[in-house]
Amino acid sequence: MSDRFDHREHHKRRCKEDCPKKILLICGNSVSSGVTTDKRGDKVRLANVFVDTSCVCRPIVKIEFSNNIRFETKFDDKDRCRYDDSDKEGSKYRREEESQIRIRYDLFRKCKHEFTPQLLDTWIFEREIESKKDKIELTTTDTVSFHFCSNNESDFDDRCEYFVVATTEEAKNAKATFLKSAISAFVQDDFEDDDRDRRDRRDDRDRRDDKDHCRR
């Protein structure tokens, strides 16, 4: 039996423990592409993703979402003119046009043993056009994107659904069309506590190995 210290085996064990844990990437679904809204109070569910953290001890979950939204002015000719009391002539009408849309994006989480979804965060998209000469016919396309990160997922069930709902808060002479959405989830173990415990265990084992080597 050799009394030589096996440095390769020692390094192999340390490397195995120091290797990072796997990262989960989960792609979600776009569920309401092409839906148009033009009145206050409209609600549209845009995308969802199911996240299973049963294989992760201390999961950190990051949700990424993006949506292309098309804004279009929509004027009604009978409301185009408005009397201007400040006009010196007192009988002159001037055109005063305003077009506005405001959309609220809400991110929810609902786990398998919950009856009511939990609101995680909110983002606002707003577009406003004003003209004091004449109505403006305008169409624009914008990208709304955001991310949300949570490191307390171990407090919830292993399987949860994350989904985004768009609510129209204001729609004046305008309409919005929700184009294709994308949502995804990244899951990784929280390393802080694991690293501390792993370092302590490794130091204890190294001390034991060193003692065994000295005895030989």
Q: How far, in Å, are 17, 76, 194 from residue 204 at the CA level?
A: 14, 78, 15
What is the per-residue pLDDT across 80-105, written as a single tens digit (0 to 9) for each?
A: 444 445 554 544 444 557 889 999 99
For the 22-191 domain, the top CATH level (class) is mainly beta
Instruction: Return the domain boundaries, the chain.
Output: 22-191
pLDDT at 75 over 80: no
Q: Which residues pair with 163 in a beta bridge?
A: 48, 108
What is the per-residue pLDDT across 152-191, written as a single tens digit (0 to 9) for each?
A: 655 666 789 999 999 999 998 899 999 999 999 999 887 6
Q: What is the rounded distance in angstroms from the CA atom of residue 153 to the CA atom of residue 155?
A: 5
The answer to whether residues 190 and 58 touch, using CB atoms and an 8 Å cutoff, is yes
What is the per-residue pLDDT across 38-61, written as a single tens digit (0 to 9) for each?
A: 999 999 999 999 998 887 878 889
Q: How many CA atoms lie within 13 A of 187 on its CB side?
A: 22
103, 109, 110, 115: CA torsion to nearest 10: -60
Q: Which residues contact 154 (CB under 8 A, 6 or more apart)?
A: 53, 57, 58, 59
Percentage of the chain exceeding pLDDT 90:
42
pLDDT at 106 over 80: yes
- What integer pLDDT is reported at residue 195 of this predicted model? 54
- What integer pLDDT is reported at residue 8 of this predicted model? 46
- What integer pLDDT is reported at residue 12 of this predicted model? 47
- What integer pLDDT is reported at residue 93 of this predicted model? 47
Percentage of the chain exceeding pLDDT 70:
63
Q: At what angle do helices 191-215 and 7-18 cross, to 10 degrees?
A: 170
Q: What is the rounded distance in angstroms from the CA atom of residue 169 to the CA atom of residue 107?
A: 16
- What integer pLDDT is reported at residue 102 of this predicted model? 95
Q: Which of 3, 58, 6, 71 is nearest to 197 (CA)?
A: 58
The answer to whether residues 145 and 66 touch, using CB atoms and an 8 Å cutoff, is yes
Q: Which residues contact 30 (CB under 8 A, 6 or more apart)?
A: 46, 47, 180, 181, 182, 183
Burial of 160 (0-12, 13-18, 19+ CB in 10 A): buried
Left, alpha or beta for 34 (phi > 0: left; psi -120 to 50: alpha)? left
Token duo for residue 3: 């009394």
- What integer pLDDT is reported at residue 83 of this predicted model? 44
Q: What is the mean pLDDT of residues 71-78?
A: 74
